Amino acid sequence: MKPLEYYFELNSRSDEIIIIPYGDVHKGKSNHNPELLRRLFRYVKENDNVYLVDLGDLSDNISFSDKRFSVNAIPDELLEGSPKEIKEKLGNIYMNGLQELKKIIAPVADKHIVSVYGNHESKVKRIHHINLHSMLCDDLDIQNGGLACIVNLVFRMKGKNKASKVLRMYVKHRPKGGVGKTAGAKYNAITYGSQLVDADIYLTGHIHQPCHEWKLINSTTTSHPPKMKKIKKLFISVASHTDCMKDGDESYEEEANYSGSLFLIHKIRIKPFQGGLTTETRISVEEWEIVT
C-alpha cells in the first residue's frame, strides 16, 4: 500500500492542527439527523486549523433489492408527491443522494484530508456498477483513499526554518471481522488495523460506536538495525449520524439488536513541534458531544 500525503504549513512551533474523523452519516435514511453534520461542518468552516477525514457510508443507499430494505427506513420526503414523482425519486435514489451530498460537503471540501468508502457505497459499486465515492471525490477534488489507505501527515514550518515532522494515519471504514455486538468484539475490531500496517493513528467507522483508545503496540523502529519496541498508538472509531430507537422508525441495525450511541466527535489535536519524542506528547484527543 503506497502512502498518500497531506501537507500542513505552520507559522510557528506552537501551532496546533485539529483533525476530526467522521462517517456513517447514512443520509437518505428516516432516522438520519441532518443537524449533526451541519453543526460539524459549520465548526470546520469557521476554524482555519481544523480538517476532516471521511470514513464512508455517507449515504444509506438501500434500495428495494437490498435485503436490509425496510419501508420504515424511507424518509418522508421520498414518499411525497404523485405516484410518478415517487417512482422517479426512488428509482434514482443513488444519484439523487450523491447530488445532495455534494451540495452539503462542497463548502468544506477543501478541508478534507482524505476520503474512503464504506460498505454501503461498496455494495452499490459491486451490484449496480456505480462508483459513488469516486464521483464524489473527483467532483469535489478530495483525495481518494479507496477502500483503505495510509496517509503521511507532513507538517512543515514556513520561512527559513524548514523543519518538518511526519505522522502516519491508517484510514479504513470497516475493520476486520465486521461490527460485533459486544464491547470486547468492538474493541478488537477497532485495534485490528495495527496488525496490518504500522501507523501512529488508526481511524475506523462501521461499528457506530464512538470511542478512542491509546494502546501499546509492538512496532519497528527506524534505527539501523531496526528494533522492536512497544509504542503507544491512537485508535478512534466514529459515531453514526442516526437517531437510534427513533419512534416508529425501527431500522435494520435495531432489528439486529445493535446498540445506539451518542453523537460524539473526536478532535485529534496535534502539536507536531511540541517537545518530546513520543507520539502521545504531540497528540491529544478531545471529546465533543453534539446534542440536538
pTM: 0.88
Q: How far is it, in rounded angstroms, from Cα 115 to Cα 147?
A: 9
pLDDT tens digit sequence for 152-209 = 999 998 876 677 899 999 999 987 655 666 666 767 777 877 888 889 999 999 888 8
Does the pLDDT at position 248 exceed 60? no
Query: What's the average model confidence in pLDDT over 229-244?
Result: 83
In this prediction, residue 179 carries a pLDDT of 60
pLDDT digits (tens, 9 = 90+) for 39-84: 999 999 999 999 999 999 998 877 666 666 666 777 777 778 888 8
Average pLDDT, the chain: 83
CATH assignment of the domain containing 31: 3.60.21
Q: What range defines the domain where residue 169 resides?
A: 4-289
- How would you label 244-280 residue by residue, b for 16+ Cβ within 10 Å and e otherwise? bebeebbbbbbeeebebbebbbbebebbbbeeeeebe
Residues 50-83: b if buried by 16+ CB within 10 A, e if exposed: bbbbbbbbbbbbbbeeeeeebeebbeeeeeeeee
Strand 211-220: give its sheet, edge to edge: 4-10, 148-157, 164-172, 201-204, 228-237, 211-220
Give me the pLDDT at residue 182, please.
Answer: 63
Number of domains in the chain: 1
Amino acid at 112: H
- SS3 track for the chain: CCCEEEEEEECCCCCCEEEEEECCCCECCCCECHHHHHHHHHHHHHCCCEEEEECCCCECCCCCCCCCCCHHHCCHHHHCCCHHHHHHHHHCHHHHHHHHHHHHHHHHHHHEEEEECCHHHHHHHHHHCCCHHHHHHHHHCCCEEECEEEEEEEEEECCCCCCEEEEEEEEECCCCCCCCCCHHHHHHHHHHHHHCCCCCEEEECCCCCCEEEEEEEEEECCCCCCCEEEEEEEEEECCCCECCCCCCCCCHHHHCCCCCCCCEEEEEEECCCCCCCCHHHHEEEEEEECCC
Bridge partners of residue 269, in order along the sequence: 18, 284
